[in-house]
Structure 1
């Protein structure tokens, strides 16, 4: 199956699940408070529906426009803009007739469900999979800066030990990227000296210049020969796949990143590679190209292979069911905190983070192109947290806009007029359309400019 199709299936499966559960978060308290729900829809049904069926007083359906979903609650000014209903006298079963505290619970239901869902997923993942990571301290010779220009912008080099970000020690290697994106300062150890560097305010913009190079840090790995190119001058040299290069000329190497500077000395010439082949040492004469390459790809090694050979350590934390509960809650809170920090940077034009705002294509690309349940649920949990936070923003037409008006009513004792709420809903709707166009326009621009 095509990778794009796999991603698309995962995207719609995840989106449908999140929308239905979000709307249930509104639907259930509305029914508990005896408020009539006229429609419950997955996706929008502009002009027509793919499916609909009335059960009791509610029409359940699936729309054709996959931009979200909704519940239409009687007596509420929402995206349906049903002004005719609002012009009539309030009925006891309508939203507007209920006490403010009940209306507040109904409006907070969706975002509450989204956050609770993410936490439940994280609890399940902690219990089912545990948590496997590379302790940063196990990289005894520091990190590998795979993209030198990005490393130079940040001020770190291959071999540096990253001590902390914003004064907080970093324990896990995979926490580095989020920490650097959200952080302000980074502390490194280089040749016995501790150096603190300020993370450039526009560092995110540097990463976004080429999103394929965002993962600019890695563990240092050995130089294992992968494929030997058919057009390589060394195809008949005796080099074999899985050979490990341990010396170039008379200079021994431990890591792949040490090879390039040495190969520069032999550009357009020949030298001898010392290789370890199944624990036997071989000396192989090779030609070095004018671009200082051997004509081979770097062979892949799993983290388990690297651990068995002492290049790094893998730590796996297993959780009992009871232990997975606080672990899942902590993961949910940490993910939400990290997203809020990123959002702050998006609203600061100096960071250039707004260039990374994406629409449906960007969200779809978050899923792996092969089916992987762990990755699917992890991505779904992240999107659920994003939806929860975005929906609680104080923007009219979003849940957060309704919450703000309800809080105003509860504090002041005065309810905003229906006409004001209608205008606010329209303003919020146009803001959301503008954001939608910007985000998806960014996707199109990135696709065209590739």
Structure 2
């Protein structure tokens, strides 16, 4: 990947996380202030040993740390990641967290999760209002699908028209893979040569698909050249050979080509060689002789948007509000289903599905695109909310669990118990963090 693309991905990830962390911590900060609880620190990113920037206003120190793994607010009289034992050994002060009624402490603790849920909903609402919702109905995949060995293993063939999954019709073609994996579908219905065919999904298919990290089928589009990169942009074989916009590739070294994916496969086989590229240009048929780089790429593209009938549903602001709420809920449900697969399904290994910051960064496009940026930020906001509400010590959900216990029983867990629980939770979280990011590094080193 080019350096510029890496920097763009990293920049989008850093901005997205900064927005999410600051707003999450504001969710704790604002109710704490409303209940007259002293907040000693408000930090974006962590600041062990030193911070990049800080200033004090009132009782609170605001700053930016150097370790971009999250952020925090340090609330006086609360056992948190700061592990400030000295403060906890002193008698409670009226402005401390531990002196407040349980219901106030509960509101302070769920504030961050609440903000992330609301933020995800608001972002989805604004996306739908501004850009609408673009889908590719299954019936509009007019050239059929193409697939590889994974799809072939359950009987899919190039040219099939996918009709439904377990008898249900996905709203968008690109939802098919997710529906198969998350719902652990048993059948796919396709139209082949005018006949309906039922394909049965065999055991182990979900695991194989997740390991592949690609859709089970792609969309076939004609091999018409819509984009030809120039020498300045890098991939120059097609440009140098004289390819022009609108050219249709019909053969490579005498082998007939109709669709773009067929062309791409043949090019990879001849990487590093000079090939005979037969194209149709208007009424003429000509042969070009490009020399392919080792990547086997001509530096060309065909935009499926021009060959397929995408549908964009537009929303008024009033319509976007319930649609945004539905989108946020479906995103949360989908994420929970993914976690369930990791921990329950025998076909899926955690090491194949978990990822750290490199994996998250690679979700962002290599060019700055605001629609993609906000869509991924909404997704990450929903994920952050769910992960934080899990009843694990050191997370918001752990504190909430102990507060609910206190409200039901009337007994507050001892500060020593809370201290040990915080330590256990922090060890678990940092171990998971190291494991996930270690997997990223291992995949990068091994290319897997």
The verdict on a shared fold, with TM-score over 0.5 as the criterion, is yes
Q: Distance in 1 between matches of 2:123 and 2:96?
A: 34
Q: Distance in 2 between matches of 1:46 and 1:248?
A: 59
What's the offset of the Cα at 1:441? 0.5
Does structure 1 retain, via aligned residues, the 8 Å contact 2:223–2:302? no
1:193 aligns with 2:196: yes
**Alignment CA distance shift 1:231-1:143 (3 Å):** closer
For structure 2, the 5+ residue unaligned runs are 230-234, 268-275, 290-295
| Match among 331, 334, 342 for residue 335 of structure 1 | 331
| Match among 406, 414, 420 for residue 409 of structure 1 | 406
Give the match for residue 389 of structure 1: 386
Of the structure 1 ranges 151-160 and 2-11, higher mean CA displacement relative to structure 2 is found in 151-160
What's the offset of the Cα at 1:319? 1.1
Give the match for residue 69 of structure 1: 71
| Residue-by-residue CA offset, 1:304-336 (whole Å, 9 max, x unaligned) | 421xxxxx3111111111111112111111111
What's the offset of the Cα at 1:35? 1.3
What's the offset of the Cα at 1:130? 0.9
Secondary structure of 2:124's counterpart equals helix
1:442 aligns with 2:439: yes
The 5 A counterparts of 1:340-419 are 340-348=336-344, 350-419=347-416
What's the offset of the Cα at 1:163? 2.8
For structure 1, the 5+ residue unaligned runs are 264-271, 288-294, 307-311
**Alignment CA distance shift 1:153-1:93 (3 Å):** farther
Q: Once superposed, what is the RMSD of the aligned Cα atoms?
A: 3.3
**Alignment CA distance shift 1:275-1:80 (3 Å):** closer
Of the structure 1 ranges 150-159 and 335-344, higher mean CA displacement relative to structure 2 is found in 150-159
Does structure 2 retain, via aligned residues, the 8 Å contact 1:131–1:317? yes
Q: Distance in 1 between matches of 2:39 and 2:265?
A: 69
Q: Distance in 2 between matches of 1:141 and 1:259?
A: 15
Secondary structure of 1:369's counterpart equals coil
Does structure 2 retain, via aligned residues, the 8 Å contact 1:139–1:219? yes
Report the count of equivalent residues. 420
| Match among 203, 211, 229 for residue 206 of structure 2 | 203
Secondary structure of 1:118's counterpart equals helix
Does structure 1 retain, via aligned residues, the 8 Å contact 2:264–2:297? no
**Alignment CA distance shift 1:86-1:202 (3 Å):** farther
| Residue-by-residue CA offset, 1:407-437 (whole Å, 9 max, x unaligned) | 1122222221111111111110000011001
Give the match for residue 290 of structure 1: none
1:322 aligns with 2:318: yes
What's the offset of the Cα at 1:89? 1.8
Of the structure 1 ranges 56-65 and 181-190, higher mean CA displacement relative to structure 2 is found in 181-190
Does structure 2 retain, via aligned residues, the 8 Å contact 1:133–1:172? yes
| Match among 69, 75, 90 for residue 88 of structure 1 | 90
Q: Distance in 2 between matches of 1:113 and 1:261?
A: 47
Give the match for residue 151 of structure 1: 151
Q: Distance in 1 between matches of 2:281 and 2:21?
A: 55
**Alignment CA distance shift 1:250-1:202 (3 Å):** closer
Secondary structure of 1:168's counterpart equals coil
Does structure 2 retain, via aligned residues, the 8 Å contact 1:183–1:199? no
Does structure 2 retain, via aligned residues, the 8 Å contact 1:8–1:364? yes
Secondary structure of 2:142's counterpart equals coil
**Alignment CA distance shift 1:12-1:259 (3 Å):** closer
Give the match for residue 291 of structure 1: none
**Alignment CA distance shift 1:74-1:296 (3 Å):** closer
Q: Distance in 1 between matches of 2:26 and 2:259?
A: 54
Give the match for residue 164 of structure 2: 164
Q: Distance in 1 between matches of 2:298 and 2:216?
A: 18
**Alignment CA distance shift 1:260-1:38 (3 Å):** closer
Q: Distance in 1 between matches of 2:48 and 2:288?
A: 67
**Alignment CA distance shift 1:302-1:105 (3 Å):** same
1:18 aligns with 2:14: no
Secondary structure of 1:178's counterpart equals helix
Does structure 2 retain, via aligned residues, the 8 Å contact 1:205–1:352? no
Give the match for residue 104 of structure 1: 106
**Alignment CA distance shift 1:82-1:222 (3 Å):** same
Give the match for residue 302 of structure 1: 303
Does structure 2 retain, via aligned residues, the 8 Å contact 1:39–1:59? yes
Give the match for residue 271 of structure 2: none
Secondary structure of 1:50's counterpart equals strand
| Residue-by-residue CA offset, 1:225-270 (whole Å, 9 max, x unaligned) | 68799999xx99x98774325689999975456789999xxxxxxx
Q: Distance in 2 between matches of 1:85 and 1:250?
A: 80
